[in-house]
Structure formats: structure tokens, C-alpha cells
């Protein structure tokens, strides 16, 4: 079973070389360092002679020589002078030796394929680990006929287990292939009997950890049904497929595991068995525990039908041999002990509900539909506003009833329309006049709404004659595939389901492409994203593990489109080409306890504003508009420049038009004094220029555009000047654009279109005539009128100027300037408090705009009063930040003494409430929070345009969005606080809190204060406790940082992880994170790493060296 073969070099291990099993963990590494051969200490404190992935924190083992006979410290592996490769225990007894195929071994080598070889001087291989696999194979490795893999006993016990994977003489296997340059890979038969293929990203840009790419069989619980043996789990237990698609073995109520440490062992009764003595009627002492969709299929000894459930219960209760009764559809099976092949599976009850010939649904307000067996999906009519009805499929158990397919998206039908499965076997949609609007299938026998979200029509022998999965609209679901020529067409908007402006297509040439459409026609513009797989792409697969990828004809993976796994057992899932042109993968938690909404898992392209730049078409947004990315899921929004308005308020992508009379091109009247510019930083319309000049000054560029009646916008960047004409296309605002756009608009006191001009002049004339008639007899009265008018205008102008000064707009920042009244209304009078600190209170609010967005309004107190300019400068710096691990500032209020900031609303609260709640968050969520916070700080310190030192990193200032992504808040506020206040806050926390020692020694404050605070935060995350706990069981546990270093120094890190099973099973990563934290909290700032290095260490890109005592370098 080959993967593929590659050539490579090796590091030679010479004759006489040896390694000794000890705590120093010596090994022989491959040339790249990807793999290592040596001794690994296991949980029993013994050692395995093994090969492992050496660059990842888990040091995952992929081969061992002595899995059933671990050796003690002091054991030795030696390449002897006479060419033998021997493992001996401390007493010198041989435990294992390589079985050579010949003589003349000259050297050994650990190769970059993960293969360890013994070879001759001419490099002929005499022995290799690839020929003697344990439970794992790697890319380039070959399993020959009759080769076998044997699973481990458990995930921590590497001895031979219960399952075997063998390539028989008639066997063949295909596994999905991915790039070995981007991923570490392995395929392993695991202790639960499933053969899984794993990938692990080599770079730090993706989620770190082994991800399942494929597994066989898809459901081991239902795959094993044997007359002998217990099944996937032990006797008297049952197998359940977990949310992660892994089998879990459990005991029924009243039963316990024979061996609690072995979850694959059998269960035993935890009660006294029923007495079979006929004279002893014990039936009243026993009862039943009901379990839905459960069976032990090969344990029955009696069968009855047709009977009722009550009869079945009574019959088992009276029978002392009956351990379980199965009642299903009028059938009754009595089961005896030991129960075998136990499983929970919804398909035991039914697979689908047939819709018979002659059945129909009518479009009306009662919302009738055909549901899938579980009720997860429904097929029927959905009313779309007042426009009519869609024949659609939707998620039926969520409030939104999210549509995932429709038959008549471009031709809504009215109330009274009918979908019918006719008696002659056609599925037909007729409108309320009886006219046919759509049809599918010929000579079918039944239809069914399946639990996959697929609606099918089929023949008597269940052959599918038509299915909705073959004709997708804008969405695909797990188990669905896109074949050559298939396409998704986006909806027009999020409420208008008709065909829109974008298309996602697997072309017949094999390239997977995103296009803009020449709306409203069906023809296409050029592509704005593709996989570049011409002549190789064959099929897009959305698998049940949540991966979306493009494969070649041989099944190898060419490209991932959505590469974040999510269990279909735990989440509803969909992937959709949305109306804004972005292909997004969504998940929705099925059970309570998480966000009850669709959350974005991945999206393509990463920035559509910058991805679309075409010579024809308006771009990501319409003509004369510009595109900006905002929000955690990086959604594009389309905006009009100042002086422009939307062409159609109901069409967000419809473009904009000038809201002023254009400049007159009459040479005698250029009107230059009537026009000015609105500056927009980092903005461009790259494909609309008609003249270019360089080198020039900005003032020259302004003047050149001002004197040119064709010039709508001038772009000035680094001495270059581009003049742009209407209609402007491909508009975008992004920090990478640079420079500024000078948008020409008519000045406020000269605005107005011809009709308005005429009206104004008429009004002025009327005023003059009336005044003359009424006051013509008195020059003095005319003078008084003129004087009072001038005074009134002066007063109004001065008041208007003051009002304008109260609501400044930060230049080029797209931050909204709110009035105090607007925020008072948004928060309902500052009613619902989200939290408070020493200098601010945060309130929940809802903006009074068309979207009604939730926001968090921070009302600042005790801030530095250094004038409007300084406040605006600080807001300017905060507004320029843009990172997925920062909370986005949306706007501000600076009115009189009031200073308020408006942020995105974070639906899952703070890291403090998440971390210190009653139930412990899972280990991987805590790891993600740590890495996300580190990335956010790295951005503030080194990647944003103005370096920002946070000065107050703690769990309360790290928030969690709807996807539980860590987002840093309150950054950039340090300069707004009074200095004495800042000192007071830090003094209250104490030297063992989050604040670096230099705060108390009057030393300069640098970015290293944030590194120190992050180190404390990291310890809280991985240990899942507060940094200071005064009620700790012993004094040495009160200060977490001190206790952690003591445990690390004494080799007792397990003391930090009481009952934290997930972290205990990931002990190597836990130890690494402890070492990183200790580096961060060094009292000498010079010893602390930068946040860039901290991020690299967390993600495994940089090795972590042994840290010193945090206080050892302070005199």
C-alpha cells in the first residue's frame, strides 16, 4: 500500500555508537530534525526504543522495537563494531536485535521519511524499520501482502492491543493524499480498532495538533457484528460514536466496568441477579432502564411478533434469563448475558420515511413540510416576505430555518401552489393557476427527505433517480460532492434568494474557481480565486469530519477549501457561497451550552476586497463604492464615499452615485472654488485611472484634479498621483494600500442640483420683494433688520462651529463619531452593565441603524484632560489596528466632558468568566485562547503602524467572540489614564499579580511588561486557576507563579493538574507551556522573550530552552 517515494540524504550513525536510556532524552535525529530515534520515557517510567516526530510538542511515537517489553533506565542501544544493532537492559541482557538480511553493516541512519535503516558501505539496506511496522505507516512506506499493523492496548499503553490491520493477498486500500511539504503525516491503527490517517501542519499558520483526514471504518460501532467475541467494546457494554467520530465504550445503567482503567474491557452487573427459583417471585424487585436506538444484535434467544411494548416488558420481567428486551415496530427480542456487539445508532430505528405516490404539499401560511427521520431537515414551502413562496430544503430544528436548497429561486410561486409526487412518478411544482414551474424525476416509486439534507426520488429497488445534492443552489452539506461542471450561484442578498453576482464552480478542466457574474446575465467576468488545478481537479468533497477539499481522480487531495474539522454529531454544518462573494463554512452547535447561532469556521478568499481587481465590473462592491473588511469573520461591507449615496438602498452591492451637481466642464466656468476634497487614508479604486504623474507633491495632485472636470478622485502615494474618472471601480480600503484618496465633492455651501438652485433663488427673490413692500418706507427699519439678520447668522454659525467641533471624525479611520444622546439611546439610558473597572464602566447597547448591531459602550472616567487633539490622536492609534485577536473599535464620543468608546460586542464574555467558572473549560480551548492572546499582543507590539503597549493584560481584558476566539480589549488606553491612577491600580494588584516588577522600581516601561503579564495569564490558562488564591490548601500554593516554578524544578508538574485528564494526557505540551511562562515572568526584563518569540514557541516553530529561576538574576 504505497504513498509515494522521495529521495533524501541522511546523517550517518557510525559503528560503535550507542544511546543510553536516561532523563536527558538523547537521540539520533534525521537531517531535517523532523524525526528522531532513541529512548522515550513512558507513563510507567520505563523506556521504549522508538521513532517519533521530533518537531512537534507531542513527540508522537510512530515505531517501537520493544513495545511489549519496555526497558529500565540505563538500558542501551548500540551499533556494535561488528555491525549488529542490539538493545540491552542495564544488566547487559539482550532484549531486542535487528534481524539483518545480510552482513556488512557499515552505518545506521535516521532518514527524513521516518525510516531508520542499517546499510552497507555502498548504501544497500540490510534492515529498516519500515519493514517491521508496529501500529503506524508513513508517506513513502509500503505495506506488502500479509504485512500487518497491531494496535496499542490504549492511548498510553503501547503494548500490543486488540485489533489488527492486515493487507491480505486479495486486499487493497486507498487513503487520501496531501502535500508532505506542508504537513507531517501518519496512518495508524489505533487502540479502538479504527485505522486513521492524520495530518499536522508544519507551519504555525494553522491550528496546531494532529487532525484526522480519513478513517476506516466510518463507524466501527456498527461495523463489528460477530458471532464470537464481544464486538467493538467489551461484553455487556455498548459502543457510541462520539462527537469527534471516535467510538466510546459505556456500561448500561446498573453495570460497571470490570477494569475501570480499561474502557474496552467488559462490564458486569452491579446488582444481585434475579433468582430463577420458580417459588421465588422476584419480578416486583426489578424494573427497566429505557435506552433509545440501542441493541446487542447477536444476544437474543427468543423472538415474538406482533406484540406491544408493554407485553415485551412483562415477558422479560418474568424471565430470570432475560437481561435486556428490545422492542421495535411490534417486534420483541429477549437478550441473554453476556451481551455482545452492543451499539447506539439512530439508524437502528429507521433510515428514512417514504413519501408515497400521490402525496402533495400546498404553499400556505401553515408551513407544511416533509421532514427527515430525525427532524433535522425539512422539504416544503417557505414564505419569503410578501414576494411569494420558495420550494426549499432547510435546517428544521433551529429557529432561523436556514435554507440550503431551493427549486425556484428565480421564480417564486404564490399561495395555493402545489408540489406533488404524481401517481405516474414525477415530482412536479405547479403554481396556483396549475401551470408547471419545475419538475424532477421520471417513473419514480417514492421520495424521501434524508437526514443528510438530501431530498431523493427513487425506484422500487431504491435506486436514486434524482437528488437535490446533484443540483445545489448556493450551499453544500457534509457528505455532498461537487463533480466536474457543478456550480454554486450566490443569492442576490441575505433576504433575496434569487441568483446573484458570484459563482463557485468546478470547471470541466478541473480548476475550482470563484467568478463574478455579469449580473443580471449568466455570463462571467474573470476569476478572483482559484485552486490552479487545471487538468488535475476532479471532485470537491465535504466529508463528515467537516473537511472540504478538492481531489484528483485517484483520490489524492489537491487543495483544502475548508480545512477546519467539526463533528457532524455535535454541529450542524453547511458551506455556502454568500451574496458578498465569499465561500464560508459554518457550524451550529446542536446541543445547549454554546453559542446558539451559526459561527464561521473558515472562509475563502481571506480578503475579498483585495482579491477582486478586474478591468470590467464594479469589483467586490458596486461602482463608486468601496469595500472594507470588518468583524471577526472578516466580512466585507460596501460603503459610499462622502458626497455619494447608494443607488438602491435595498441593494448593498448596487453601487453609489454622486449626491451633488457635477463640475461644469465649460472652459469659461471651471467652478474650482465650489469644490473641495474629502481625504480617505489607505483607499483606492485601482482600475479607474486615466492620467498618471510623478514625481509630484500632494498639493500639486490636489490642484490638478480640482481643475479637471473629469477627475472624480485623485490618489496620492509616495510622490505619485493618479487621476480617476467615474464610474470608480474595485474600490477598497486596507492598510496595505497606503497613501490617500482625495475624493472631490461640492462644498457644503455650494451643494444642490439645478432644481434646488432655482428654488433657492426664488425664495431669495420673494424675501427681497416682501421686505421692500413692508419696510420700504423706513430706511432705519431696513437697517435694523439687516443688522439683526447678520447678528443672528453670526450666532448660528458660531454655534454650528462648536457643534461640529464636538463631533470630530478621525481622518481616514472609518470610525463613527457618536453623539452622547445616540449612545444614551443605544444603551437604554446606560441600563445593562457588562462590567466595570477602575476607570470605566461598560454597557451593552444596540445601535439604532438598519442592522441593529449589538455593541459594548465603554464610558471612560478620570481620563487625562489634555484637549481634543490628544484624545483624537489616541483614538487614531486604536482605530488603525485590525487583527482577529483584537476587539474592534467602531467609534467614539467626545462631547463636552464625556468620553465614550464603542466596541464590537463579544457574546461569550471575558476569559475570566470562561476560565474560572464551575466547570473546567477543555484543554484545547485553553490552548487556543493562549495562542490567540499571544498573537494579538505580537501584533500590538510589532505589526501595527503605531506600537501599542497594553499595560493591563489580565483575563478580564481578554474577551471571547461567538466562536470562542480570544480577543484583547482595552489596548491603547494607557495614555488616556491619569498617571497617579495607573500607579494606584497596579499597586493594588501587588508584585505577585499581573504587573511586572519594573513598575515598582521606576524603570522605563517597555513591551516587556506585557510579556510578564502574559506569562501570568498563560499559567492561569494551563493550570485553570487564579494567579493568587488565598484559600489554597497550603501556603506554597497561594502564588501560582512561585508554586509552578517549584513544581517544575522538582519534576512534579502533575501536582498542578489535579483531575485535569485532558492536560495530563498532553503532559509534554503542558511542560512546554510552563517553561514558556517561566521565561515570560523573569524579573529581569532583558531575559524575557519578545511576544513574537513567545508566539513561535507556543506554536512549535522555535524550541523552548530550559528557563532559569525567575528571580535568580536580580541582585
C-alpha cell at position 1053: 508538574
| Cα torsion through 339, 340, 341, 342, rounded to 10 | 20
Place of cell 474595485: 730
Half-sphere exposure of 999 (CA within 13 A, CB side): 26
Q: What angle do CA 798, 803, 809 make, to 5 degrees?
A: 125
Q: What angle do CA 548, 552, 555 make, to 5 degrees?
A: 75
Instruction: Output 467-474 pairs: Cβ under 8 A, ≥24 positions apart.
Output: 468/393, 468/405, 471/405, 472/405, 473/404, 473/405, 473/406, 473/409, 473/497, 474/576, 474/577, 474/578
β-pairing, 27-29 vs 35-41, is: antiparallel
Question: End-to-end distance of the chain based on CA atoms, in angstroms?
Answer: 63
Angle between helices 1091-1098 and 923-938 (to 10 degrees): 150
- Give the Å distances, CA to CA, from 403 to 386, 407, 418, 575: 17, 11, 19, 12
Largest alpha-carbon pair distance within the chain?
131
d(CA 945, CA 942): 8
CB within 8 Å of 1112: residues ≥ 6 apart: none
Residue 214: which of 165, 184, 260, 177 has the closest Cα? Answer: 177
Query: What count of other Cβ atoms lies within 10 Å of the Cβ of residue 823?
Result: 24
List the alpha helices (DSSP H) in 807-917: 820-826, 868-879, 911-915
Query: Is the torsion defined by CA of 815, 820, 825, 829 positive or negative?
Result: positive
859 in a labelled binding site: yes
CB within 8 Å of 502: residues ≥ 6 apart: 489, 490, 514, 515, 516, 517, 577, 579, 580, 581
8 Å CB contact between 46 and 62: no
User: Which region, left, alpha or beta, applies to residue 12 given φ > 0 means left and ψ of -120 to 50 means alpha?
Assistant: beta
How far out from the chain centre does Cα 493 lie?
24
Place of cell 485623485: 714
Determine the 3-state secondary structure of 203 from DSSP: coil
Q: Which of 34, 708, 952, 1010 is catalytic?
A: 952
Catalytic residue at 366?
Answer: no
C-alpha cell at position 269: 452487573
Q: What angle do CA 503, 505, 510 make, to 5 degrees?
A: 155
Determine the 3-state secondary structure of 700 from DSSP: helix
Q: How many residues does the chain have?
A: 1115
> Tell me, what DSSP letter sits at residue 632?
T
8 Å CB contact between 103 and 49: no
Determine the 3-state secondary structure of 571 from DSSP: strand
Helix (H) or strand (E) holding 316: helix 309-317
User: Which region, left, alpha or beta, applies to residue 91 given φ > 0 means left and ψ of -120 to 50 means alpha?
Assistant: alpha
Taking only Cα atoms into account, the Rg of the chain, rounded to an integer number of angstroms, comes to 36
Helix (H) or strand (E) holding 333: strand 331-335
C-alpha cell at position 943: 505589526
Task: Spell out the SS3 assignment of 400-440.
Answer: CCCEEEECCCCCCECCCCEEEECCCCCEEEECCCCCEEEEE
> Tell me, what DSSP letter sits at residue 941?
I
Main-chain dihedrals φ then ψ at residue 690, nearest 5 degrees:
-125, -10
8 Å CB contact between 85 and 97: yes
Residue 114: which of 178, 167, 187, 179 has the closest Cα? Answer: 187
Residues assigned a catalytic role? 952
Sequence ranges of the binding site: 859
Sequence ranges of the binding site for ATP: 859
Amino acid at each position: 500500500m504505497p504513498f509515494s517515494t522521495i529521495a533524501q540524504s541522511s546523517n550517518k550513525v557510525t559503528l560503535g555508537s550507542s544511546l543510553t536510556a536516561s532523563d536527558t532524552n538523547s537521540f539520533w535525529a534525521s537531517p531535517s530534525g523532523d524525526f528522531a530515534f532513541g529512548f522515550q520515557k513512558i507513563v510507567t517510567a520505563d523506556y521504549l526504543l522508538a521513532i517519533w516526530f521530533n518537531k512537534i510538542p507531542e513527540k508522537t511515537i510512530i515505531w517501537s522495537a520493544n513495545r511489549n517489553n519496555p526497558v529500565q533506565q540505563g538500558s542501551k542501544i548500540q551499533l556494535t563494531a561488528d555491525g549488529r544493532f542490539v538493545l540491552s537492559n542495564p544488566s547487559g541482557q539482550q532484549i531486542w536485535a535487528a534481524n539483518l538480511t545480510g552482513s556488512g553493516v557499515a552505518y545506521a541512519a535516521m532518514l527524513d521519511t521516518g525510516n531508520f535503516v542499517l546499510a552497507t558501505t555502498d548504501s544497500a539496506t540490510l534492515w529498516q524499520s519500515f519493514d517491521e511496522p508496529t501500529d503506524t505507516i508513513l508517506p513513502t512506506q509500503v505495506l506488502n501482502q500479509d504485512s500487518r499493523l497491531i494496535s496499542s492496548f490504549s492511548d498510553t499503553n503501547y503494548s500490543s492491543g486488540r485489533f489488527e490491520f492486515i493487507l491480505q493477498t486479495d486486499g487493497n486500500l486507498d487513503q487520501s493524499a496531501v502535500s508532505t511539504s506542508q504537513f507531517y503525516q501518519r496512518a495508524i491503527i489505533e487502540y479502538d480498532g479504527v485505522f486513521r490517517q492524520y495530518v499536522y501542519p508544519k507551519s504555525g499558520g494553522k491550528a496546531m495538533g494532529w487532525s484526522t483526514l480519513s478513517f476506516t471504518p466510518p463507524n466501527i460501532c456498527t461495523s463489528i457484528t460477530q458471532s464470537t467475541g464481544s464486538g467493538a467494546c467489551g461484553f455487556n457494554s455498548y459502543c457510541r460514536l462520539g462527537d469527534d467520530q471516535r467510538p466510546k465504550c459505556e456500561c448500561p445503567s446498573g453495570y460497571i466496568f470490570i477494569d475501570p482503567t480499561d474502557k474496552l474491557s467488559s462490564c458486569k452487573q452491579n446488582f444481585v441477579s434475579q433468582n430463577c427459583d420458580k417459588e421465588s417471585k422476584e419480578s416486583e424487585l426489578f424494573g427497566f432502564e429505557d435506552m433509545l436506538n440501542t441493541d446487542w444484535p447477536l444476544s437474543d434467544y427468543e423472538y415474538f411478533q406482533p406484540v406491544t411494548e408493554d407485553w415485551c416488558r412483562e415477558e422479560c420481567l418474568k424471565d430470570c434469563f432475560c437481561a435486556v428486551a428490545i422492542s421495535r415496530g411490534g417486534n420483541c427480542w429477549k437478550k441473554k448475558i453476556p451481551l455482545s456487539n452492543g451499539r447506539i445508532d439512530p439508524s437502528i430505528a429507521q433510515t428514512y420515511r417514504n413519501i408515497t405516490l400521490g402525496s402533495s404539499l400546498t404553499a400556505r401560511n401553515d408551513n407544511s413540510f416533509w421532514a427527515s427521520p430525525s427532524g433535522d431537515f425539512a422539504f416544503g414551502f417557505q414564505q419569503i416576505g410578501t414576494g411569494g413562496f420558495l420550494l426549499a430544503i432547510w435546517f428544521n430544528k433551529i429557529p432561523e430555518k436556514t435554507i440550503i436548497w431551493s427549486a425556484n429561486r428565480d421564480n417564486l410561486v404564490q399561495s395555493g401552489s402545489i408540489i406533488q409526487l404524481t401517481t405516474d412518478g414525477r415530482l412536479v411544482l405547479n403554481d396556483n393557476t396549475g401551470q408547471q414551474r419545475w419538475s424532477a424525476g421520471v417513473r419514480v416509486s417514492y421520495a424521501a427527505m434524508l437526514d443528510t439534507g438530501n431530498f431523493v426520488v427513487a425506484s422500487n429497488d431504491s435506486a436514486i433517480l434524482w437528488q437535490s445534492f446533484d443540483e445545489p443552489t448556493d450551499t453544500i452539506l457534509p457528505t455532498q460532492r461537487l463533480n466536474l461542471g457543478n456550480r454554486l450561484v450566490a443569492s442576490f442578498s441575505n433576504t433575496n434568494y434569487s441568483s446573484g453576482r458570484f459563482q463557485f464552480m468546478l470547471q470541466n478542466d478541473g480548476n475550482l474557481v470563484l467568478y463574478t457574474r455579469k449580473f443580471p446575465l449568466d455570463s462571467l467576468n474573470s476569476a478572483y480565486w482559484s485552486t490552479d488545478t487545471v487538468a488535475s481537479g476532479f471532485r470537491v468533497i465535504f466529508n463528515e469530519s467537516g473537511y472540504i477539499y478538492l481531489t484528483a481522480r485517484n483520490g489524492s487531495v489537491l487543495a483544502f477549501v475548508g480545512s477546519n474539522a467539526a463533528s457532524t454529531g455535535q454541529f450542524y454544518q453547511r458551506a455556502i457561497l454568500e451574496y458578498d462573494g465569499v465561500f464560508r463554512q459554518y457550524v451550529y452547535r446542536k446541543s445547549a451550552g454554546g453559542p446558539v447561532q451559526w459561527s464561521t469556521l473558515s472562509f475563502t478568499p481571506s480578503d475579498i476586497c483585495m482579491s477582486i481587481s478586474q478591468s470590467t465590473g464594479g469589483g467586490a462592491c458596486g461602482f463608486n463604492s468601496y469595500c472594507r473588511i470588518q468583524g471577526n469573520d472578516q466580512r466585507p461591507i460596501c460603503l459610499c464615499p462622502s458626497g455619494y449615496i447608494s443607488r438602491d438602498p435595498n441593494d448593498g452591492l448596487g453601487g453609489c452615485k454622486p449626491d451633488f451637481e457635477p463640475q461644469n466642464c465649460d472652459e469659461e466656468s471651471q467652478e474650482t472654488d465650489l469644490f473641495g476634497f474629502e481625504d480617505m487614508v489607505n483607499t483606492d479604486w485601482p482600475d479607474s485611472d486615466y492620467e498618471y504623474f510623478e514625481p509630484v507633491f500632494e498639493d500639486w495632485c490636489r490642484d490638478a484634479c480640482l481643475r479637471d472636470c473629469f477627475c472624480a478622485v485623485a490618489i496620492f502615494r509616495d510622490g505619485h498621483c493618479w487621476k480617476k474618472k467615474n464610474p470608480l471601480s474595485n474600490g477598497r480600503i486596507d492598510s496595505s494600500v497606503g497613501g490617500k484618496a482625495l475624493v472631490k465633492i461640492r462644498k457644503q455651501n455650494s451643494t444642490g442640483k439645478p432644481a434646488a438652485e432655482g428654488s433657492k433663488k426664488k425664495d431669495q427673490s420673494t424675501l427681497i420683494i416682501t421686505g421692500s413692500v413692508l419696510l420700504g418706507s423706513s430706511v432705519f427699519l431696513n437697517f435694523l433688520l439687516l443688522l439683526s439678520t447678520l447678528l443672528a447668522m453670526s450666532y448660528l454659525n458660531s454655534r454650528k462651529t462648536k457643534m461640529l467641533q464636538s463631533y470630530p471624525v478621525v481622518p481616514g479611520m472609518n470610525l463613527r463619531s457618536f453623539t452622547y444622546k445616540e449612545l444614551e439611546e443605544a444603551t437604554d439610558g446606560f441600563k445593562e452593565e457588562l462590567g466595570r473597572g477602575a476607570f470605566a464602566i461598560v454597557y451593552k447597547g444596540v445601535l439604532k441603524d438598519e442592522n441593529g448591531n449589538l455593541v459594548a459602550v465603554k464610558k471612560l472616567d478620570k481620563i487625562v484632560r489634555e484637549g481634543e487633539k490628544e484624545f483624537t490622536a489616541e483614538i487614531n492609534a486604536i482605530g488603525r489596528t485590525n487583527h482577529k485577536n483584537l476587539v474592534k473599535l467602531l467609534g467614539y464620543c467626545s462631547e463636552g466632558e464625556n468620553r465614550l468608546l464603542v466596541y464590537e460586542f463579544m457574546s461569550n464574555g471575558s476569559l475570566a468568566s470562561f476560565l474560572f467558572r464551575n466547570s473546567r473549560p477543555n484543554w484545547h480551548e485553553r490552548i487556543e485562547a493562549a495562542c490567540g492572546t499571544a498573537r494579538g499582543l505580537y501584533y500590538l507590539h510589532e505589526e501595527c503602524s503605531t506600537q501599542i503597549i497594553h499595560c493591563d493584560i489580565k483575563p478580564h481584558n481578554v474577551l471571547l467572540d461567538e466562536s470562542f476566539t480570544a480577543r484583547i480589549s482595552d489596548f491603547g488606553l494607557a495614555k488616556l489614564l491619569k498617571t497617579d491612577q495607573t500607579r494606584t491600580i497596579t499597586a493594588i494588584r501587588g508584585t505577585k499579580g499581573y504587573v511586572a516588577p519594573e513598575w515598582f522600581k521606576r524603570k522605563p516601561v517597555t513591551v516587556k511588561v506585557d510579556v510578564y503579564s502574559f506569562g501570568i495569564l498563560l499559567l492561569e490558562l494551563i493550570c485553570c486557576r487564579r494567579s493568587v488564591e488565598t484559600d489554597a490548601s497550603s501556603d506554597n500554593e497561594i502564588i501560582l507563579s512561585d508554586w509552578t516554578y517549584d513544581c517544575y524544578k522538582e519534576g512534579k508538574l502533575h501536582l498542578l493538574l489535579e483531575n485535569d485528564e485532558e492536560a495530563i494526557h498532553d503532559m509534554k505540551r503542558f511542560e512546554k507551556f510552563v517553561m514558556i511562562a517561566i521565561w515570560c515572568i523573569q524579573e529581569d526584563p532583558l531575559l524575557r522573550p519578545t511576544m513574537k518569540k513567545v508566539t513561535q514557541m507556543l506554536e512549535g516553530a522555535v524550541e523552548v530552552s530550559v528557563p532559569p529561576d525567575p528571580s535568580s538574576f536580580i541582585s
